[in-house]
Amino acid sequence: MRDGSGREPDPDAIFTYNEPDIPPGRDGLPPGDAGRVPDSSRAVLRMRVEELLGARETPGAEAWRPLGRDARRLLVELLDDSAVTGHEAMLQRVMATTAQLGIDEAVPRLGRLLLDRSQSPLTRTFAASAVGRLAPDAALEPLAAAVGDADPMVRRQVARALAAATGPAARAHLERLLDDPAPSVAEAAAEALAAPGRGTGLEPGRGRARDLRPPEELPD
């Protein structure tokens, strides 16, 4: 899977929770659904949003602040914009920006993208990461469904997103991931369950320990 720069992504760099690398900026967004607006001020707003999304260096929150709430609403709309969803690197950039700015209104659309199998595993991983940063409890249903995603990169990020959720339901889904066939996924689930405030309650041999030590060396 190649990112927007044409390079193979480095999983270790991308999946350190909860900050996937934001793809390099593009020159601009093609006109799309959210761009068809009769109000000239809204058209100007989209142009300014495009400029920030297309920047080579990721803009900080202070660069977005002058654009106000309208820019935040537009970023949410872009998650359904065909001009964006058809360009993987830009879609990933919009998802990362909604998480960076704490736009909780994006969570339902991010949840749908997480479960959209027409999207690449990397894009679904970005969706899981954004949900984990925003409101994992509000997206528990899509996160639970994504526990069964075919790609271990996605499942690993789902485990990390569930780590930020609360309540017994999140714990139950993490416990399912303890027995994941991919060691990196099982380790992420074990680390989440061992986090302060959760308590482990892990059975010997589950999670990271099962892959590193024989049964006779496990603690009582």
Full domain range(s) for residue 143:
11-217
| Euclidean distance between CA atoms 32 and 217, whole angstroms | 59
Residue 207 lies in a domain: yes
Considering the entire predicted model, what is its pTM?
0.74
| Euclidean distance between CA atoms 54 and 195, whole angstroms | 37
Among residues 20, 35, 18, the alpha carbon closest in space to that of 159 is found at 18
Q: What is the pLDDT of residues 22-69, one digit of tens each?
A: 555 443 444 444 434 345 588 899 999 999 999 988 899 999 999 999
Q: What is the pLDDT of residues 127-171, one digit of tens each?
A: 999 999 999 999 999 999 999 999 999 999 999 999 999 878 899
Residue 212 lies in a domain: yes
- Please compute the mean of the pLDDT values over residues 73-98 and round it to a whole number: 94
The CATH number covering residue 125 comes to 1.25.10.10
Encoded tokens for 19:
């900050």
SS3 for 2?
coil
Residue 139 lies in a domain: yes
Name the residue with higher pLDDT: 155 or 1. 155
pLDDT recorded at residue 42: 87
b vs e for 64-102, b when ≥16 Cβ sit within 10 Å of the residue's Cβ?
Answer: beeeeeebbebbbbbbebebbbebbbbbbbbbbbbbbbe
pLDDT recorded at residue 66: 93
DSSP state of 25: P
pLDDT classification of 201: cutoffs 50, 70, 90: very low
Among residues 5, 138, 182, 207, the alpha carbon closest in space to that of 157 is found at 182
Residue 50 lies in a domain: yes
Residue 88, pLDDT above cutoff 90: yes
Q: How many CA atoms lie within 13 A of 127 on its CB side?
A: 30
Residue 4 lies in a domain: no
CB 44 within 8 A of CB 68: no
Residue 203, pLDDT above cutoff 90: no
CB 43 within 8 A of CB 86: no
Residue 165 lies in a domain: yes
Residue 56 lies in a domain: yes
Residue 6 lies in a domain: no
Residue 100, pLDDT above cutoff 60: yes
Q: What is the pLDDT of residues 103-132, one digit of tens each?
A: 999 999 999 999 999 999 999 999 999 999
- Please compute the mean of the pLDDT values over residues 1-5 and round it to a whole number: 47
Q: Domain total for the chain? A: 1
